[in-house]
Amino acid sequence: MPAVNDKTGGNMKKIKRFEKIRHEPTNVKELLTEMKDVSELITDLAYSAVIFDIREIAEEVKELESRMDKLLYQIRLTAMLATRTVEDAEQFSGLLQVASAAEDISNAAGDIVRLLDTKIENRPFLPSLLQKADEKIRIIHLPEKSPMSDKTIGELNVEAETGVRIIAIRKGERWVYNPGDSIILSGGDMLIVRGVDDGYIRLKGFAEGKRGLNNE
């Protein structure tokens, strides 16, 4: 099943990105920013995979986990090459510690989705263990005639308007992870979202054409 990650590109693009990482110098800031972003996304994805028992998301978590290995390797190389003085080395050592912590977090996310390898009858309680949080992970189905249909996520400004972040979207057989502002929503899409209760209720009502996005 083809998967698209708005950050890392589709499968084809993904391979390209890895090659780019191997041959071209990349700067430490961009590497670290991506590592931070991935470490936050990957835990949300891991919890979603376990809560809703979705294999595709679990696979994406594993891919992101290996991407983090590569990013960590690259940031180490880049930092070493940039080190000239003892002060540089001391500061870079702290920076690499942060990068390595982000990678540890991703590995933990990978371990979370491996819980799905346990027979399903041994883990019926798993969703409820993770579902009661301040910011809950939930599913919203867009009906065919949803007011959100044919609009981009950026246009709707979903996260700033509702406090709910779209973590992943299933479009037919295809998944989009960490959708960016340019992703167009369509009727029939299934959104996996993370956020506070009142924002979720508002977004769900709007998605189903029952209310405006902003009114009480």
Q: Which residues bind other proteins (CB under 8 A)?
A: 28-29, 32-33, 36-37, 39-41, 43, 47, 90-92, 94-95, 97-98, 100-102, 104-105, 107-109, 111-112, 115, 118-119, 122-123, 125-126, 128-130, 132-135, 157, 159-165, 178, 195-196, 198-199, 202
Q: How far is the CB of 133 from other proteins (least distance, A)?
A: 5
For other proteins, the closer CB: 187 or 196: 196
Query: By three-state DSSP, how is residue 49 classified?
Result: helix
Query: DSSP letters along 119-163, please?
Result: -GGG-TTHHHHHH-SSSEEEEEEPPTT-TTTT-BHHHHTHHHHHS
CA-based angle 91:97:101, to the nearest 5?
150
Nearer to other proteins, 66 or 157 (CB): 157
Structure token digits, residue 187: 């009727």
CA dihedral 59, 173, 191, 5 (to 10 degrees): 50
Minimum separation from the CB atom of position 173 to other proteins (A): 26
The residue among 70, 57, 56 whose CA lies nearest residue 14 is 70
* Nearest to other proteins of 19, 104 (CB atom): 104
Closest CB to other proteins among 92 and 175? 92
Of 19 and 197, which has the nearer Cβ to other proteins? 197
DSSP-derived 3-state class of residue 30: helix
